């Protein structure tokens, strides 16, 4: 069964969070997207500019639906924080 993400419920839940919690959600979503997209330029694009994000048809990447859902949630969080979803700050260093 393929369930669709209800963005209105997501928006309501995000609105119920404190500003500090929203910022934490934003950072966590950015890192999750960066990793899901295989890091690199595509991951940075998703994390920094969710309003313009897309996956080119030439790119072979699994979990596209999950990535696009997280991008939509990231846009909502950015809007609720009154941030520009076309230009978010993102710095990530992963240590493995």
Checking phi first, is residue 43 left (phi over 0); if not, alpha (psi -120 to 50) or beta?
A: alpha
> Tell me: the pLDDT tens digits for 29-42?
999 999 998 888 89
Is pTM beyond 0.75? Reply is yes
> Tell me: the pLDDT tens digits for 76-95?
999 999 999 999 999 876 65
Q: Terminus-to-terminus CA distance in the chain, angstroms?
A: 35
């Amino acid at each position: 069964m393929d369930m669709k993400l209800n963005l209105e419920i997501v928006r309501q839940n995000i609105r119920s969070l404190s500003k500090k919690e929203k910022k934490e959600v934003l950072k966590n979503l950015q890192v999750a997207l960066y990793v899901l997209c295989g890091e690199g330029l595509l991951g940075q694009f998703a994390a920094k500019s969710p309003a313009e994000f897309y996956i080119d048809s030439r790119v072979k990447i699994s979990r596209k639906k999950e990535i696009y859902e997280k991008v939509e949630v990231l846009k909502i969080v950015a809007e609720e924080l009154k941030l520009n979803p076309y230009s978010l700050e993102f710095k990530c260093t992963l240590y493995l």
